[in-house]
């Protein structure tokens, strides 16, 4: 477990770039990307500036040095590749960043399992250890078509509330965190919870759910673990492990 280090604004910006590029590569590695669509956005470490991928870039191509800097409205401030961004795709992200100043990263996916659960009337079931992390801690937002309507932002923020995870019905999954690492780990667990649910329901066998009191306990255990790391300022060992994986499978992401 790493020690807490106080970082200046330049170091924070560099760290955000590296972590964000790693998260894009990890989504590609775990096959959680969707061609050139969906986004991960992160605070750039200074004011209301954010980092996001260059338009048309596959997630397995993203590099820290090529991330685009934008403001809360999606206006491009710095664009190393000159390709701009998918402004329509930033509608969801700008809504959350604007309403939740404590959030440093917003991550959105369209995976087969995630979309499948998003299409189920009951949503995410409290059926296993992964899904119990989100027990009574996940929001739902009804589908309003492709997210290009700026008026949808208010409804999206209202539905999310204080949660860090949301199922966009008939659409996909969303997580947010104080850091890129937190948002990614949440998404990794949410995705596996959805995969497990689809697999279990696909067997056609009766589903055994844990008792309510056990579901409550498990959710609190996850929450205590997360809050402990946030309060201590220590490096999350799971995110550190994911960074090592990124350096092993995609060493050019830091360039």
Instruction: Give the list of residues 6+ apart from residue 147 with CB closer than 8 angstroms, or none.
Output: 88, 89, 91, 92, 171
Sheet of 139-141, strands arranged across: 76-78, 68-71, 49-52, 40-43, 105-109, 172-177, 165-168, 139-141
Evaluate if residue 89 carries a pLDDT over 90.
no
Q: Mean pLDDT across the stretch 87-92?
A: 82
- Residue-wise pLDDT for 104-124, tens only, equals 999 999 999 999 999 999 999
- Residue-wise pLDDT for 145-167, tens only, equals 887 788 899 999 999 999 999 99
pLDDT band at 2 (very low <50, low <70, confident <90, very high): very low
Q: Looking at residue 11, what is its pLDDT?
A: 60
Q: Which residues pair with 175 in a beta bridge?
A: 107, 165
Residue ranges in 123-179 assigned as alpha helix (H): 129-132, 152-160
Q: Which domains does the chain have, with CATH numbers?
A: 9-246 (3.40.225.10)
pTM for the model stands at 0.92
CA distance 60 to 253: 9
């Amino acid at each position: 477990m790493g020690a807490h280090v106080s970082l200046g604004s330049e170091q924070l910006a560099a760290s955000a770039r590296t972590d964000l590029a790693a998260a894009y590569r990890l989504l590609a590695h775990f096959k959680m990307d969707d061609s050139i669509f969906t986004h991960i956005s992160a605070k750039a470490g200074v004011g209301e500036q954010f980092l996001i991928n260059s338009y048309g870039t596959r997630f397995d191509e993203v590099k820290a040095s090529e991330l685009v800097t934008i403001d809360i409205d999606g206006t491009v401030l710095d664009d190393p590749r000159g390709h701009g961004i998918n402004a329509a795709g930033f509608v969801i992200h700008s809504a959350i960043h604007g309403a939740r100043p404590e959030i440093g990263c917003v991550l959105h996916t369209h995976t087969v399992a995630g979309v499948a659960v998003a299409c189920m009337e009951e949503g995410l079931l409290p059926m296993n250890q992964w899904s119990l992390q989100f027990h009574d801690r996940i929001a739902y937002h009804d589908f309003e078509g492709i997210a290009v309507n700026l008026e949808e932002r208010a409804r999206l923020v209202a539905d999310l509330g204080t949660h860090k995870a949301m199922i966009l019905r008939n659409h996909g999954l969303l997580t947010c965190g104080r850091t890129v690492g937190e948002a990614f780990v949440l998404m990794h667990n949410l995705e596996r919870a959805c995969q497990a649910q689809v697999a279990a329901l696909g067997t056609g066998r009766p589903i055994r759910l844990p008792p309510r009191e056990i579901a409550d306990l498990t959710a609190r255990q996850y929450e205590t673990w997360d809050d402990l790391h946030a309060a201590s300022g220590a490096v999350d060992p799971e995110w550190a492990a994911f960074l090592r994986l990124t350096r092993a499978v995609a060493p050019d992401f830091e360039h």
